């Protein structure tokens, strides 16, 4: 009988009755063949692999992370609560040491969902990793967290949520934003002035194969993790870097994903994208589960896997080496660069447009951060959609100093309900969430 | 008249049931070395002076295959396994003569790599030269496409006594369990066949032409002939016999916890409105996890003969049995001795029971009666705790749709049915200790045999269709057809019911035993690019476990004992 050397938990929730629309990549069929493969391989019978039923996440869980406009019930379906609840369940079991590692194999995904949510973008409504992490911080009091996003698309939602958090290292490795949705995730995106260097982006060129990904892992991601010393490592385990994925252009494989998981040793993996539902997902998921559990994944491969056919070119290898050199240069100089970014500033502001491709909403945001020497700083977001819905959201970080706490409440109190459709205050230092409207 | 016979670990129970009551009940000591004698003696005793033509059927439940597996007395069997990529198949090696061969089928049922005839022929000749007579053939995803198993079967030719193909045993996905199930079915086949040939022969010699049925682990019956096709289904039929015997007394609109309290263990099962709950996967026995359909039962190592000890101040019960209770000459104090001390039982040596408990009582500084009461309560609590755990596991079973997760059905029994040796005493105490409604199954000493006698046929059929590939198949039924793109779930269900009806009849069921229901019905649109290219349909139907219709309504009165003149 097969025994897993590393006790591993699994929440498998394929949501067989939920789809964005009937022919959308995010449809009922997506994890059908993955389930077939996992069941047929007898993975759930392996001693040391435990399957759990997902919890249901609550609105309270979501309010630690998001500002849902106008409110949660309008942007979140039950399926999202189960998906986030699946991640939460795995986190609870890991925190209670019932399992060593866990994998939330759930849908719908979450890594394109930003702090303010007006609707669905990149198939995501709420950020299931962030909901899970803030739950762990609230209930289990963990501090430093590293998220390694290995989805082919830049994890712009997770980046946005942790942009100003120096205790959350966010590393995204993805297909270059010049060639793929969402078009961000460039190397110079390194975090806000009070959390500079806690965001790391590693854009890889199209047709990067196993050696490119593993090079980036060994020469950048692992050394950075070693420096950062997180309490817990989360893997946003998107699987659309696969050579058969219909909406991306990379050449990664099931062996590659398994190897990456084996080397990264995440405490928790959460499924993100991956839409080669027949040719990739059954094999990549099998490989990831086996690698997490410490099982020999040497014989896991796709029926059409020919490593020599997907090997990256020499030029690609050289290009990737340069990208990694640049990443390490930024990482090693992050303190100095951070000081420069903060120099003399009382407040830092940024303005951007955010497009919700799935729901066809264009949002314009103006963000104002208190550049504080003692804490990550109070943050205010003025957000307006193209349909004219206007909200004002104030975030007080977990470790806010008393001054920033006061400032957050001042901003909230001062916001005019005549001017905004809704005004929010999320005070993470006291786990408060309040809202007002005219 | 019908006969039920249950060979248990210590006793073989046999009943003869008439129109409205039990006519005869017989208890024969079980001799594990000679089960045939037990069966034969039991049958001979209940049928004495009864005209054979008045006996409609006899249902047998034996420990034959169960013991063979537990004691590892299985015949050498060749296993030919084609796995393709994935988990290393050597992890699932069941026995010597286990060969992993080339050939691979993917999750859709498409061939990835073909079978190598030379390789199979080489293995066949090796098996022949080793004198192997039984072979199991198993492919990964063979329930999506059984061609490789069928090809290998053909290549093996007629040189073997019995070849078992994995896809014929279950429609469920689980390659390692399919391997184990195939192995067990092949490896118990000669034993099972020899035994029942002998039973039949001796019955016929005595002029007893009685149709013989065999009880399965899922609480259903099949004809002796059908059992030769899948003898694995007879494994662990014992617990099912007791559960079926308790069925008539369960509430019609409630959930029931059944406790069969024996000497060494208590077997637990759940009834949902008089229908026993099935295990979602299959039997686990002797280190084998299988796809053999079974009632969901769980064994707790607490019984009347479990050894009672003190662990500091704490009373522990079991998990071992060292012999009978001290009141019956055993070496160590047991819950049964506690019953003696409490004056609940008296047909043994009360003095010995008291002496056994006195020693423990002294250590705790309590009176011997107080000690007995504590032991008995501890046994009750042990059983109740395990029952709560089992129910919680059942309720936390993962589901895969939003609907099921939100509407999630939860098992919450309000009633306990108790049977087995010390049933009345336990029932009385359990009703005091809990909020459950507690009842004793009448004639609890032979409820297992009555359960076997009254059980009707059960069957399951799985139909799978992939209309993009243009196929529909029912692997267990050896059925496959081409279909068009617009083949629907409704058509698949219709087919499944038709195949189920055929299967029931083939297993010896009568028309009126076939209460059919849908277990699973899923249909997925298959989308490639942005176009729907086909449907993926999964359907599972069954005849659920229950009692034969003509006895169903009078089952309660049947438990009256109105002995025939002897």
Strands of A432-436's sheet, edge to edge? A347-356, A361-370, A379-385, A390-396, A422-427, A432-436
pLDDT in tens, A299-314: 999 999 999 999 999 9
* pLDDT for residue B557: 82
A112 classed as catalytic: yes
User: A392 CB near a chain B CB, below 8 Å?
Assistant: no
**Within a domain: A309:** yes
Q: Tell whether A291 and A355 lie within a shared domain.
A: no
DSSP 8-state symbol, A266: -
A118 touches A75 (CB < 8 A): yes
The C-alpha atoms of residue A84 and residue A272 are separated, in whole angstroms, by 12
The pair of structure tokens assigned to B394 is 């059942």
Domain boundary, last residue among B117, B151, B184: B184
pLDDT at A112 over 60: yes
Residue A352, in any domain of the structure: yes
Question: Is A394 within a domain?
Answer: yes
Is A340 part of a structural domain of the chain?
no
Query: What φ, ψ does residue A31 adopt, rounded to 5°?
Result: -105, 15
Q: Which own/partner pairs from B90-98 qualify as long-range (CB within 8 Å, at least 24 positions apart)?
A: B91/A1, B91/A2, B91/B176, B92/A2, B92/A42, B92/B175, B92/B176, B92/B179, B92/B180, B94/B179, B94/B180, B94/B183, B94/B288, B95/B183, B95/B187, B97/B127, B97/B130, B97/B132
Report the C-alpha dihedral over residues B365, B369, B372, B377, rounded to 10 degrees. Answer: -100
- Which chain B residues are Cβ-neighbours of A52 within 8 angstroms? 396, 398
CATH number at residue B219: 3.30.420.40
Last residue of a domain, one of A279, A300, A335: A335
pLDDT score at B556: 79
Q: How far apart are CA A326 and CA B410, in angstroms?
A: 56
Interface touch A28/B527, C-beta < 8 Å: no
pLDDT over threshold 80, residue A436: yes
How big is chain A by its Cα radius of gyration, in Å? 21
In this structure, is residue A390 part of a structural domain?
Answer: yes
Q: A278 CB near a chain B CB, below 8 Å?
A: yes
**Residue tagged 């100093």 (tokens):** A401
Residue A170 belongs to domain spanning: 3-335
Interchain pair A295, B87: CB under 8 A: yes
Coil vs helix vs strand at A147: strand
- Taking the C-alpha atoms of residue A242 and residue A326, their distance in angstroms, rounded to an integer, is 25
Check residue B558 and give its pLDDT: 80
How many structural domains is chain B composed of?
Answer: 3
Same domain, A364 and A330: no
Mutating which of B83, B86, B89, B181 best tests the A interface, going by the most A Cβ atoms within 10 A?
Answer: B86
Looking at the domain assignment, is residue B405 inside a domain?
no
Given a cut of 60, is residue A321 above it in pLDDT?
yes
Same domain, B531 and B495: yes
pLDDT band at B443 (very low <50, low <70, confident <90, very high): confident
Judgement on whether residues A127 and A260 belong to the same structural domain of the protein:
yes
Residues from chain B that touch A1, judged by Cβ atoms under 8 A, are 91, 287, 289
Query: What would the two tokens of residue A315 be?
Result: 């030029």
| Token pair listed for A289 | 């589960």
pLDDT of A110 reads 96
Residue A262: pLDDT band with limits 50, 70, 90: very high
What is the model's pLDDT at position B204? 87
Contacts of A9 in chain B (CB under 8 A): none
Q: Is the pLDDT of residue B566 over 60?
A: no
Taking the alpha carbons at both ends of chain A, their separation in whole angstroms is 64
Looking at residue B450, its pLDDT comes to 93
Q: Which CATH number covers residue B158?
A: 3.40.50
What total number of domains does chain A contain?
2
In a domain, A341, yes or no: no
CATH for A55: 3.40.800.20
B66 and B81 assigned to the same domain: no
Tell me which of A284, A314, A335 is where a domain ends: A335
Residue A409 CB-density burial (10 A; 0-12 exposed, 13-18 middle, 19+ buried): middle
Is residue A330 located within the same domain as residue A351?
no
Chain A partners within 8 Å of B176 (Cβ): 2, 41-42, 45
State residue B344's pLDDT score: 87
Query: What local confidence, expressed as pLDDT, does residue B20 receive?
Result: 84
A275 touches chain B (CB under 8 A): no
Same domain, B87 and B222: no
- Same structural domain for residues B12 and B161? no
For CA atoms B463, B394, B241, B74, the dihedral sign is positive
CA distance B327 to B423: 18
How would DSSP label each residue in B320-388?
Answer: EE-SS-GGGT-SS--HHHHHHHTTS--SS-HHHHHHHHHHHHHHHT--HHHHHHHHHHHHHHHHHHHHH
Q: Kindly state the tokens that stand for B332.
A: 């160590």
Mean pLDDT (whole number) for B277-297: 93
Q: Is residue B278, in this structure, part of any structural domain at all? A: no
Does residue A359 fall inside a structural domain? Answer: yes
Q: What is the DSSP letter of B279?
A: P
| Residues A322 and A356 both lie in one domain | no
Q: How far is B279 from chain A (nearest CA, A)?
A: 14
Tens digit of each residue's pLDDT (9 = 90 or more) over B367-425: 999 999 999 999 999 999 999 999 999 999 999 999 988 888 899 999 999 998 788 88
A319 lies in the same domain as A375: no
Whole-number Å distance between alpha carbons of A66 and B242? 56
Residues B483 and B501 in one domain: yes
* Domain end marker among A335, A355, A382: A335
> Which range of residues forms the domain containing residue B160?
77-184
Which residue of B173, B281, B532 is in closest CB contact with A36? B173
Pinpoint the alpha helices (H) of B20-77.
35-47, 64-70
Question: Which residues neighbour A398 within 8 Å (Cβ) at sequence distance 6 or greater?
Answer: A137, A167, A428, A429
ipTM: 0.94
With 0-12 CB in 10 A as exposed, 13-18 as middle and 19+ as buried, what is A178? exposed
- pLDDT score, position A1: 75
Q: How high is the mean pLDDT of chain A?
A: 97
Q: Cis check for the bond before B366: say yes or no (omega within 30 of 0).
A: no
Using alpha carbons only, give the angle A284, A289, A291 rounded to the nearest 5 degrees: 90
Give the model's confidence band at B554: pLDDT under 50 very low, under 70 low, under 90 confident, else very high: confident
3-class SS at A423?
strand
**In this predicted model, what pLDDT tens digit does every residue of B351-362 receive, in sequence order?**
999 999 999 999
Is A229 exposed, middle or buried, given 0-12, 13-18 or 19+ CB atoms closer than 10 A?
exposed
Give how far A10 is from chain B: nearest CA, Å: 10
- Residue B565's pLDDT is 66
Q: Are residues A366 and A299 in the same domain?
A: no
Of B107, B174, B400, the CB nearest to A33: B107
Predicted TM-score (pTM) of this structure = 0.95
CB B450 within 8 A of CB B245: yes
The verdict on A414 touching B (C-beta cutoff 8 Å) is: no
**Sign, CA torsion B385/B387/B390/B396:** negative
Final residue belonging to a domain, choices B184, B201, B222:
B184
Residue B263 lies in a domain: no
A62-101, pLDDT tens digit by residue? 999 999 999 999 999 999 999 999 999 999 999 999 999 9
**Residue A126 near residue A84 (C-beta atoms within 8 A):** yes
**Cα distances (Å, whole numbers) of residue B380 to A428, B317, B375, B418:** 49, 10, 9, 12
Provide the H-helix boundaries in B206-274. 224-227, 237-246
**Domain co-membership, B66 together with B121:** no
- B172 and B197 inside one domain: no
Asked if the model's pLDDT at residue B232 lies above 80, the reply is yes
Helices B423-433 and B368-395, axial angle in degrees (round to 10): 80
B463 bridge partner residues: B539
Q: Can you tell me the distance from the alpha carbon of B341 to that of B323, in angstroms, rounded to the nearest whole number?
A: 18
Same domain, B164 and B87: yes
**Distance (Å, whole) CA B155 – CA B108:** 25
| Residues 134-173, chain A, touching B (beta carbon < 8 A) | none
Residue B398 Cα distances to B281, B289, B409, B540, angstroms: 13, 19, 12, 18
| B96 plus B178 within the same structural domain | yes
Q: Cβ contacts of residue A140 below 8 Å, gap of 6+?
A: A91, A95
Tell me, yes or no, whether A266 and A193 share the same domain: yes
Nearest to A16 among B107, B398, B401 (CB): B401
Mean pLDDT in residue range B137-144? 98
Of all residues in chain B, the percent with pLDDT exceeding 70 is 100
A202-241 tens-digit pLDDT: 999 999 999 999 999 999 999 999 999 999 999 999 999 9
Q: Is residue A241 part of a domain?
A: yes
Residue B53 phi, psi dihedral angles, 5° rounding: -70, -15
Whether B495 is covered by a domain: the verdict is: yes
Percent of the residues in chain A that have a pLDDT greater than 90, as a whole number? 98
| Residues A37, A131 within the same domain | yes
A324 and A379, same domain (yes or no): no
Angle at Cα B210 formed by Cα B206 and Cα B215, nearest 5°? Answer: 125
Distance between start and end Cα atoms, chain B: 17
B406 contacts A40? CB cut-off 8 A: no
Residues A317 and A362 in one domain: no
- Rounded distance between C-alpha atoms, residue B191 and residue B57, angstroms: 23
Outline where A293-394 has alpha helix (H). Answer: 307-310, 314-332, 334-342
The reported pLDDT for the residue numbered B551 is 83
- In the prediction, which pLDDT does B19 show? 84
β-bridge partners, B77: B134
Tens-digit pLDDT profile for residues A357-416? 999 999 999 999 999 999 999 999 999 999 999 999 999 999 999 999 999 999 999 999
Q: Helices A314-332 and A334-342, interaxial angle, to 10°?
A: 60
Closest Cβ opposite residue A32 in set B88, B104, B524: B524
**Token match 């109190």: residue?**
A413
Same domain, B158 and B197: no
Identify the sign of the CA torsion A393, A397, A402, A404.
Answer: negative
* pLDDT > 70: percent of chain A: 100
Residues B63 and B95 in one domain: no
B118's CB contacts (< 8 A; 6+ apart) are: none
Query: Are B188 and B232 contacting, i.e. CB atoms less than 8 angstroms apart?
Result: yes
Last residue of a domain, one of B225, B242, B259: B242
Whether A274 and A367 share a structural domain:
no
Average pLDDT of the segment spanning B237-241: 93
The total of other beta-carbon atoms located within 10 Å of residue B124's CB is: 20
- Using CA coordinates, name the residue in chain B closest to A15: B401
Which residues have CB under 8 Å from B347's CB, separation 6+? Answer: none
SS3 B244: helix
User: In this structure, are B83 and B179 located in the same domain?
Assistant: yes
CA distance, residue A102 to nearest chain B CA (Å): 16
């Amino acid at each position: 009988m097969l025994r897993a050397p590393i006790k591993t938990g699994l929440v498998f929730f394929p949501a067989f009755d939920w789809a964005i629309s009937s022919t959308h990549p995010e449809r009922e069929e997506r994890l059908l063949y993955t389930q077939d493969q996992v069941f047929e391989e007898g993975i759930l019978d392996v001693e040391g692999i435990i399957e759990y039923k997902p919890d249901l996440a609550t609105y309270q869980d979501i309010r630690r992370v998001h500002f849902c406009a106008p409110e949660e019930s309008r942007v979140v379906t039950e399926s999202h609560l189960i998906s986030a609840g699946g991640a939460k369940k795995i986190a609870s079991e890991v925190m209670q040491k019932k399992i060593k590692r866990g994998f939330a194999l759930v849908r719908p995904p979450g890594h394109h969902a930003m702090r303010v949510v007006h609707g669905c973008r990149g198939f995501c409504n709420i950020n299931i990793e962030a909901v899970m992490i803030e739950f762990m911080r609230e209930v289990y009091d963990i501090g430093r967290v590293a998220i390694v996003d290995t989805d082919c698309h830049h994890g712009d939602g997770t980046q946005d949520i942790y942009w100003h958090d120096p205790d959350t290292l966010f590393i995204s490795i993805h297909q270059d934003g010049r060639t793929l949705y969402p078009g961000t995730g460039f190397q110079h995106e390194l975090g806000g002035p009070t959390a500079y260097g806690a965001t790391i982006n590693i854009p890889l060129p199209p047709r990067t194969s196993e050696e490119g990904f593993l090079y980036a892992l060994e020469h950048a991601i692992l050394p950075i993790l070693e420096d950062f010393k997180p309490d817990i490592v989360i893997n946003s385990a998107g699987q659309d870097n696969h050579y058969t994925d219909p909406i991306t252009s990379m050449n990664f494989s099931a062996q590659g994903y398994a190897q990456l998981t084996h080397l990264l040793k995440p405490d928790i993996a959460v499924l993100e994208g991956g839409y080669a539902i027949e040719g990739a997902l059954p094999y990549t998921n099998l490989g990831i589960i086996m690698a997490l559990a410490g099982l020999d994944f040497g014989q896991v491969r796709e029926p059409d896997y020919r490593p020599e056919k997907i090997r990256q070119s020499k030029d690609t290898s050289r290009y990737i080496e340069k990208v990694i050199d640049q990443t390490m240069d930024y990482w090693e100089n992050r303190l100095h660069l951070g000081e420069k970014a903060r120099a003399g500033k009382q407040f830092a502001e940024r303005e951007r447009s955010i497009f919700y491709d799935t729901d066809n909403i264009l949002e314009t945001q103006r963000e104002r951060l208190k550049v504080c020497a003692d804490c990550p700083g109070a943050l205010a977001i003025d957000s307006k959609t193209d349909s004219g819905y206007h909200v004002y959201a104030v975030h007080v970080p977990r470790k806010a100093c008393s001054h920033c706490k006061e400032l957050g409440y001042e901003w909230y109190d001062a916001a005019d309900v005549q001017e905004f459709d809704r005004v929010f205050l999320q005070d993470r230092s006291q786990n408060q969430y309040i809202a007002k409207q005219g | 008249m019908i006969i039920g016979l249950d060979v248990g670990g210590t006793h073989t129970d046999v009943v003869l049931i008439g129109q409205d009551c039990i006519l005869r009940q017989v208890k024969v000591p079980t001799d594990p070395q000679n089960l045939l004698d037990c069966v034969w003696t039991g049958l001979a005793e209940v049928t004495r002076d009864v005209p054979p033509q008045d006996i409609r059927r006899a249902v047998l439940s034996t420990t034959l295959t169960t013991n063979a597996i537990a004691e590892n007395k299985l015949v050498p069997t060749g296993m030919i396994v084609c796995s393709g990529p994935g988990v290393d198949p050597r992890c699932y090696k069941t026995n010597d003569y286990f060969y992993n061969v080339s050939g691979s089928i993917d999750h859709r049922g498409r061939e990835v790599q073909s079978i190598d005839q030379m390789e199979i022929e080489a293995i066949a000749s090796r098996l022949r030269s080793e004198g192997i007579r039984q072979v199991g053939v198993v492919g990964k995803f063979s329930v999506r496409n059984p061609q490789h198993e069928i090809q290998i079967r053909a290549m093996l030719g007629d040189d073997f006594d019995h070849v078992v193909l994995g896809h014929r045993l279950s429609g469920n996905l689980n390659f390692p369990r399919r391997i184990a199930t195939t192995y067990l079915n092949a490896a118990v086949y000669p034993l099972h066949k020899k035994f029942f040939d002998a039973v039949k022969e001796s019955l016929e010699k005595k002029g007893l032409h009685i149709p013989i049925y065999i009880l399965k682990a899922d609480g259903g019956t099949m004809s002796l002939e059908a059992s030769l096709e899948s003898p694995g289904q007879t494994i662990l039929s014992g617990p099912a016999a007791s559960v079926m015997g308790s069925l008539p007394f369960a509430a019609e609109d409630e959930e029931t916890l059944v406790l069969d309290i024996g000497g060494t263990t208590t077997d637990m099962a759940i009834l949902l409105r008089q229908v026993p709950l099935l295990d979602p996967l299959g039997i686990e026995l002797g280190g084998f996890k299988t796809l053999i359909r079974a009632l969901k039962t769980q064994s707790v190592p607490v019984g009347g003969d479990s050894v009672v000890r003190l662990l500091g101040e704490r009373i522990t019960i079991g998990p071992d049995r060292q012999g009978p209770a001290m009141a019956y000459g055993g070496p160590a104090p047991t819950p049964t001795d506690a019953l003696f001390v409490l004056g609940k039982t008296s047909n043994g040596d009360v003095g010995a029971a008291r002496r056994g408990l006195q020693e423990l009582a002294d250590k705790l500084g309590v009176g011997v009666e107080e000690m007995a009461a504590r032991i008995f309560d501890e046994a009750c609590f042990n059983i109740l705790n395990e029952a709560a755990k089992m129910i919680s596991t059942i309720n936390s079973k993962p589901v895969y749709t939003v609907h099921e997760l939100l509407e999630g059905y939860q098992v919450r029994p309000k009633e306990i049915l108790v049977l087995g040796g010390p049933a009345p005493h336990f029932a009385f105490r359990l009703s005091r200790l809990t909020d459950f409604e507690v009842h004793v199954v009448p004639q609890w000493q032979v409820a297992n045999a009555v359960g076997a006698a009254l059980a009707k046929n059960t069957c399951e059929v799985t139909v799978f269709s992939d209309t993009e590939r243009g196929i529909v198949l029912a692997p267990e039924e050896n059925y496959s057809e081409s279909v068009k793109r617009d083949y629907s779930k409704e058509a698949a269900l219709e087919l499944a019911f038709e195949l189920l009806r055929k299967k029931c009849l083939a297993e010896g069921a009568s028309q009126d035993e076939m209460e059919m229901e849908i277990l699973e019905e899923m249909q997925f649109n298959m989308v490639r690019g942005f176009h729907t290219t086909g449907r993926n349909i999964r359907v599972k139907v069954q005849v659920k476990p229950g009692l034969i219709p003509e006895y169903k309504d009078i089952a309660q009165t049947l438990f009256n004992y109105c002995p025939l003149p002897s």
